[in-house]
Amino acid sequence: MMLVLNILSQYGIPSGVSGSLGVHRLVEALKHAFAVRMNLGDPDFVDVSKVISDMLSTNFAQGLKKKINDNKTFDPNYYGGRWDQINDHGTSHLSIIDSERNVVSLTSTINSYFGALMLSPSTGIVLNNEMDDFSIPMKSSSNLTVPPPAPANFIRPGKRPLSSMTPTIVLKDGKVKASVGASGGLYIIAGTTEVFLNYFFLKMDPLSSVLAPRIYHQVFRFFIFP
């Protein structure tokens, strides 16, 4: 989310991201951000310090902004997407701010609908299938349109799979301004970003910010999801 916002801020917000051109710029920023995201993995197992540093860097965002053309799009390889994108699922999110300005932004998941479709007879808890979010090593595919799995997200004992969860608390001068987040697997990142832009820069009220139409793209697609 921060990388997308850093890219868009180079255009000036909200003027530079308004109208149909603004939608195009948002889509292109999402493509670049998702391409970089493919290199992430559990930091206890993979050195992702440079990837994270780049994703938070305004200089890195400036470089990506220069690659965006306001009049056309490009082949997926142009955005640097080297690995297959895992389609994670589900999640539930809640955002709460109480009268004393204590704030919570919480996303939880058992992954797919009803998780692993197994219920513990002793606890009554539905078991998750979160391991589905790992990239699975496999032989090279003869289908050249399918990129290889991402090594940083390969499954290992005790390792956490890559997630799209984006629970966000917005502060200004140390004071809480908002709590945002979303559900929906890979749609979370784009959805949270768009609600943030709607509320803080397009000056919509909270309900309108959430209900407004959204778009989504994840590099290896040739169409935009409404």
Residue 39 sits in which domain range?
2-211
106, 167 in Cβ contact below 8 A?
A: yes
**Domain membership flag for residue 216:** no
Residue 36 within any structural domain of the chain: yes
How far is the first Cα of the chain from the last one, in angstroms, to the nearest whole number? 19
Domain assignment of residue 164, yes or no:
yes
Q: What is the CATH number of the domain that holds 154?
A: 3.60.20.40
166 counts as catalytic = no
Catalytically annotated residue among 91, 166, 168, 193:
91
Q: How is residue 60 written in tokens?
A: 């890195």
- Write a three-state SS string for the chain: CHHHHHHHHCCCCCHHHCHHHHHHHHHHHHHHHHHHHCCCCCCCCCCCHHHHHHHCCHHHHHHHHCCCCCCCCCCHHHHCCCCCCCCCCCCEEEEEECCCCCEEEEEECCCCCCCCCCECCCCCCECCCHHHHCECCCCCCCCCCCCCCCHHHECCCCCCCCCCCCCEEEEECCEEEEEECCCCCCHHHHHHHHHHHHHHCCCCCHHHHHHCCCCECCCCCCCCEC
Tokens 């919480």 belong to 106
Q: Print pLDDT tens along the chain (226 aa).
A: 999 999 999 998 888 888 899 999 999 999 999 999 989 999 999 999 999 999 999 999 999 999 999 999 998 889 987 776 666 666 889 999 999 999 999 998 888 888 888 999 999 999 998 888 898 887 555 555 567 788 899 999 999 999 989 999 999 999 999 999 998 888 899 999 999 999 999 899 999 999 999 988 877 765 566 5
Q: Is residue 81 part of a domain?
A: yes
| Residue set of the binding site for L-glutamate | 109-111, 133, 163-164, 185
Going by C-alpha positions, the residue among 17, 52, 54 that lies closest to residue 215 is 17
User: How many domains does one find in the chain?
Assistant: 1
The pTM assigned to this predicted structure is 0.86
Task: Write out the binding residues.
Answer: 109-111, 133, 163-164, 185
Does 220 fall in a domain?
A: no
Residues in CB range of 50: below 8 A, 6 or more apart: none
Asked if residue 137 belongs to a domain, the reply is yes
Q: Which pair of tokens denotes residue 98?
A: 């109480």
